[in-house]
């Protein structure tokens, strides 16, 4: 699958909070040149592509838009989520370890080293399934949500660097409550993506188009 170098540059730049001039300075080209790359009016030469990949913190394959749907999701991630109703702007974040076996994922924040007593960390455990390389569904426990267990859905980024979605759980005797949630390899990415979801009510402007 190829999502287009221009789209990759633009989406990753926005996710990292870089302006076109800032990215241009980082790789030693003009701002106009960044515009040409993002519009795919021109492709970067190999030396420039290497500097671009380094500045955008991705591989050359990812920069080229080459995506492997069998991406390995195992390892350390950061989970960020919106707290229940009455706490709309309050969020929690926790480091989680993901075990990836076939189409199944096991998430466990308790597998992470314990934090100092003065800095308690929110807990999260869950199990999810990967669907067609672009969606994750399953259950989650913890997250300081209203009911002990809830369901969760994530839309997985084509390059496997992060996922955005929401949790849903029981509220009282006959209702439900929900909130936005994010998984990302980097804590800063998790925080930025969740802040964007809260600001736009779930519309992520930096998310790649599937029509490419």
21: domain CATH number is: 1.10.260.40
How far is 158 from 65, CA to CA, in rounded Å? 9
CB 87 within 8 A of CB 25: no
Note down the domain range covering 22. Answer: 5-63
The tally of domains found in the chain comes to: 2
Helix axes 31-38, 5-15, angle to 10 degrees: 120
Token pair in block for residue 9:
């540059």
Q: Which band of pLDDT confidence, cut at 50, 70 and 90, is reported for residue 53?
A: very high
Return mean pLDDT, the chain: 82
Res 104: pLDDT: 81
DSSP state of 111: G
- pLDDT at position 71: 76
The CATH number given to whatever domain includes residue 102 is 2.40.128.120
Q: Looking at the structure, do residues 10 and 85 belong to the same domain, yes or no?
A: no
């Amino acid at each position: 699958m190829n999502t287009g170098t221009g789209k990759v540059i633009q989406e990753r730049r926005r996710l990292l909070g870089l302006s076109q001039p800032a990215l241009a300075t980082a790789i030693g080209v003009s701002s106009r040149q960044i515009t040409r790359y993002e519009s795919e009016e021109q492709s970067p030469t190999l030396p420039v592509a290497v500097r671009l990949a380094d500045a955008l913190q991705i591989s050359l394959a990812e920069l080229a838009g080459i995506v492997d749907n069998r991406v390995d999701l195992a390892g350390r991630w950061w989970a960020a989520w919106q707290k229940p109703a009455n706490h709309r702007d309050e969020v929690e974040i926790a480091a989680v370890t993901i075990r990836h076996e076939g189409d199944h994922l096991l998430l466990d924040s308790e597998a992470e080293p314990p934090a100092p007593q003065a800095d308690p960390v929110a807990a999260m455990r869950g199990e999810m399934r990967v669907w067609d390389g672009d969606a994750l569904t399953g259950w989650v426990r913890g997250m300081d949500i209203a009911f002990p267990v809830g369901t969760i859905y994530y839309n997985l980024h084509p390059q496997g660097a992060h996922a955005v979605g929401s949790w849903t759980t029981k509220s009282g005797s006959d209702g439900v409550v929900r909130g936005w949630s994010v998984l990302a390899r980097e804590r800063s990415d998790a925080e930025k993506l969740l802040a964007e979801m809260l600001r736009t009510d779930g519309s992520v402007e930096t998310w790649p188009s599937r029509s490419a």
